[in-house]
Structures are given as structure tokens and as C-alpha cells.
Amino acid sequence: MTMSYPGAHDRIFLDFIAAGELRLPFDPATGQALGLHRRRAAAEWRPAAGTGTVLSFTVTRRQYAAAFPVPLVHGLIALDEGPTLIARILGAAPAEVSAGMPVRAGFDSHGLWFGPCQARVAEEPSHAAA
Amino acid sequence: MGARSCEPVAAITGLGFSQMSRAPIGTVRELAGTAVLAAISDAGLAPADIDGLLLNKSPTAAAEELPLLLQNDLGLRDLGLLAAIDSEGSSAVQMVQYAALAVRHGMARAVACVFSDTPVKSGSAGDTFAIAMPLSGIEGWEQQQGFLGAVAGYAMAAQRHMAVYGTTAEQLGAYAVACRQWARANPMAFLKKPLTLHDYLASPFVVEPFRVLDCCFPVNGAAAVVVTAADRAADAPLPPAYIHGMGQGHRGRNGMREDEPELHIGAVQAGRIAYRAAGIAPSDITQCQFYDAFSFAGIVSLEAYGLCPEGEGGRFVADGHTAPGGRLPVNTGGGHLSGYYLQGMTPISEAMIQVRGLGGERQARNDIVLVSGNGGCLDYHASLVVSPHRGLG
């Protein structure tokens, strides 16, 4: 549970997210995307397609933070480029979320979220998308 | 069975607790001091006999809550070993490992190892543990996403296990019920009310798929052990736990899809190395004391430590094998869910009670006991193979 301080790698990723863009580090030698745990100064940050697959998901029912009303759905998302990350899933009721579901990235005031590929999601969807 | 090692690495000869409570009962440092003195006395030693001290604070506590200065609080002089071990939930088992190595190699003769924590503030520990785990690889990311607490990280891993292997809510529940059955015979356990699978399924969700009964029961308190060389252990007033095998496994994460850190964990390595050192196979183990802060952690530990096939931990538990009367007793004191959550000292302390034959109604076959520590989100693993027998041959 120990947090360390964000370094350049973390700031680059978060700054792109703040600008409404999902970018991933790529190895310039191989052209392959790097997992976000790797910290390589030589990485090239390229735009991601923003599409992926839900590997797993959770539904938070206990309210931990006022900014995140419950029920709050998160997915472990495998991006099509290969890296994984955890992010909110909006635009689907908790019961509609399943492993294997294709999702697409969107942005709101908290930053990145994912929703079902086919779903029509408003610009600022409710977090309690139940 | 493989070729047995002739000589244990070292022995655990003392066990001590502070008071344990859901109410404020003192600082981390004060409770740690009480537990260390109790463990020294239990080992039949005096503070002047202690020449090593290892400290383990909770990852949620500040470093200054359990300082190296505990040495001076207790009047310990001329220590040959003094360190804080900070490998999250694997730390307590790691302390015992480093203490064993130190006494084996003459750096110290008697090492006290202590864990202490006060997570329960004003009746609840929920906010203490609502800290984002760095699972995605970007510092601050989980916070930004509102993905808070170890409970969320383990819930995500459990749901992945359910998706891949078909593990069910009823199987998670069976784990919680088995732990409660054990706790009912443990005078030190905090949750002893009878629990049925129906009660479990009716209990509220915290972070799906986890209900409140899938989660550990935090308490304020401390526990300590004393480790000495094996050839001094017979002098202790109570039977020692001989340490025959030790292992660690820290798999690391690369953040790529095929990595699956939710399913493939370093406990495999921690077990393999400990078994090899002890000259045993998983089938030789007669009981397990796992670090099971969440039900799923116990289930996946059964798989990773080779006690059931991969993916079948849930079924193994639901078939009753880990419950009282089962063929492989697991967490005979109730573990973290129904006993008490003193992180890595919960499995170590119950192993000591069992090895000494002091389990009363819950006493299980204690010939070869597996003890595990697990930290991060299944990231950091450490294990011990302990026994009341000096030789396993």
C-alpha cells in the first residue's frame, strides 16, 4: 500500500490524461507498447487507440470518497496495445459489466473512464450508472 | 517425501501479545514494547538476553510510530541486529527469516521480532485502509480513479479468478464459514458468533465480489516472537517451533495483459524454496497458517503453495477440507477474518500455539505447519515451514 512520489513517467501519463488524451509508452527499438509499471526514459509516448477489454471488475458499495458516489464500477482493462490499467466503467449498470466486455475510453472531470463499445454515453455521465 | 534436512535453521521459542482491542489501548510503540517483553518472558529469557530486535509496522502507519528507539524503551543494549522490515504483509514472516539467519550465523543469540498496529480509530478501521494501492503503475492513478483500499485490489483479483476458473460467491463464503468455525474454539478470536453460508450471502457488499465477511477484522494490538538457535531451543520453558524451511517470492509486475498478477503469484516461488529447504513436498503439510486478509487470499494461497490444483482452491474449501475435521486445517485460530488481524503475526502466532499443542479444542495435527505472509496485492510473499520436531526424518 506504500505510495511513492510521482516522477517524470507518472507526470507524463497524468498530464496527457488531464489534456483528455490516453497515451502509452512505447519502446522505440521494437515499436511495442510498454506496461505502465516500466520506467524507461527512452520511451516514446504515442496515442493509444482507446479500445480494450474488461479482464475483471469491481463494484464499490461502501462510500470511501465523496467525489465518487456509489455504486462505483471499476474495470481491470487490457488495452488493445497490451498494457493494462484500472479505471472507472461508466454507461453500464453493474449487472451489465462482465469479463470479456469490449470497452472504449472517454474523459470526464475525473479523467479517464471506459464504457461499453456500443453504448451511447453522454458527455458527463453519472458515476452511479446503475 | 524428499530427502529431509537434518538440522533446523533456528527455532521460535517465545510468543507474546499486548492487549488486543477495538478500542484505543495505547500507541503502536507502547503496544510493541508490551508484546516484546511478553515474548521474552515466554521464551524463559530476560531482556538482557536479547541481542537482536526486528520491527514491523503496518504499511498504513507512519515510520515514526514504530521507531528503532523501541530498543531504548526496553533498555536493550549492544544489539547485534536491529532493523525495520518494510515489505508490507510479508514483513512479519521475513523478520523471522532474517532472525533465523542471524542466529544461525552468529550475528545474534536471541532476536525479538514484533508487529504492532493501531488501525481502529473511533470504532472503525475502514478509513485507515482506504489508501490507493499502486496497481496500474502510475503513482496517484488509483486515487484519481477512486479505486481505494486493499479491499478493492483484492476484489479485482478475486473477480478475475471467478472469471477464469469459475470460483463462486458460495466458495468465498465457505472460506469465511470455515474460519469462523475455527475461531469459535479460539479464546483469543474476536468473531465467534455462529456463521452460516446463508448469513454470509445475506451480509452487505463492501466492494463486489467481497462482502464485509470476506474482509479481515482489524484490531489494535501487537504480537512478538523470539528466535534463537535450534540448539538453545530445548532450554525454553515451552516447546519451540523449529524452522525447517524458509522462502520468499516477489514476482513483480510489468503491466502487460499476459502478466496476470491476479492469478500468478510469488507464493509459488516462496513455497517451492521453503519445501526444498525442508526436504518436504506440499502433501507432507499437515496444517496451514495463511496471511488471509481477504477470503480470496486464503483460497489462492492453497493453489499457489501447491496444496490443491490451480483454479480449484474455491472447490477445495467448499468441500470442507480446510474446516475443522477436514484433511488440511487452514487458519485454525480463525485467521484474519474471524480471529484477529495482526497482519503477518496472526499466522505466526497461531502456528506457535499449534506447534506447542496448546490449541485446545481447535488443536490440529501439527507435524509440519506452513506459515505464509502476503503483502501488496498478492505481490510480496514469504513462507516458513515449522514443526515441533527437531528432525523431520
Alpha-carbon gap, residue B223 to B50, rounded angstroms = 16
Q: Taking residues A65-94, what's their average pLDDT?
A: 97
State yes or no: is B154 an active-site residue: no
Q: Is residue A2 part of a domain?
A: no
B30-56 per-position pLDDT tens digit: 999 999 999 999 999 999 999 999 999
State yes or no: is B275 an active-site residue: no
Query: Quick check: B206 and A112 CB within 8 A?
Result: no
- pLDDT for residue A129: 40
- pLDDT for residue A127: 47
Evaluated on CA atoms B378, B382, B388, B391, the torsion sign reads positive
Q: Is residue A66 part of a domain?
A: yes
Q: Is residue A127 part of a domain?
A: no
Query: Quick check: B159 and A99 CB within 8 A?
Result: yes
Give residue for cell 525495520.
Answer: B84
- pLDDT for residue A119: 53
Q: Is the pLDDT of residue B8 over 70?
A: yes
- pLDDT for residue B2: 43
Q: Is the pLDDT of residue B5 over 90?
A: no
Q: Is residue A80 part of a domain?
A: yes
Chain A with chain B: Cβ pairs closer than 8 A: 151
Query: Quick check: B137 and A1 CB within 8 A?
Result: no
Q: Is the pLDDT of residue A1 over 80?
A: no
**CATH number where A102 lies:** 2.40.50.840
Q: Is residue A78 part of a domain?
A: yes
Helix (H) or strand (E) holding B391: none
- Domains of chain B (ranges; CATH) run 10-122+217-387 (3.40.47.10)
Q: Is A112 on the interface with B (CB under 8 A)?
A: yes
Q: Is A7 on the interface with B (CB under 8 A)?
A: yes
Domain count, chain A: 1
Q: Which three cell numbers stand for residue A35?
A: 506496461
Q: Select the residue of A14, A35, A60 nearest B152 (Cβ to Cβ).
A: A60
Catalytic choice (B275, B291, B305, B340)? B291
Q: Is residue A111 part of a domain?
A: yes
Q: Is residue A60 part of a domain?
A: yes
Q: Is A11 on the interface with B (CB under 8 A)?
A: no
All residues of chain A having their beta carbon less than 8 Å from the beta carbon of residue B129 are 1
- Integer angstrom CA distances of residue A117 from A100, A108, A122, B145, B285: 12, 17, 13, 20, 49
Q: Taking residues B122-140, what's their average pLDDT?
A: 85
- pLDDT for residue A130: 36
Q: Which domain holds residue A57?
A: 8-116
- pLDDT for residue B132: 87
- pLDDT for residue A6: 75
- Integer angstrom CA distances of residue A110 from A127, B111, B136, B145, B239: 10, 49, 16, 7, 57
At A4, the pLDDT band (50, 70, 90 cuts) reads low
Q: Is A100 on the interface with B (CB under 8 A)?
A: yes
In A, minimum Cα distance to B137 occurs at: A37
- Cross-strand partners of B241: B12
B189-223 per-position pLDDT tens digit: 999 999 999 999 999 999 999 999 999 999 999 99
Q: Is residue A124 part of a domain?
A: no
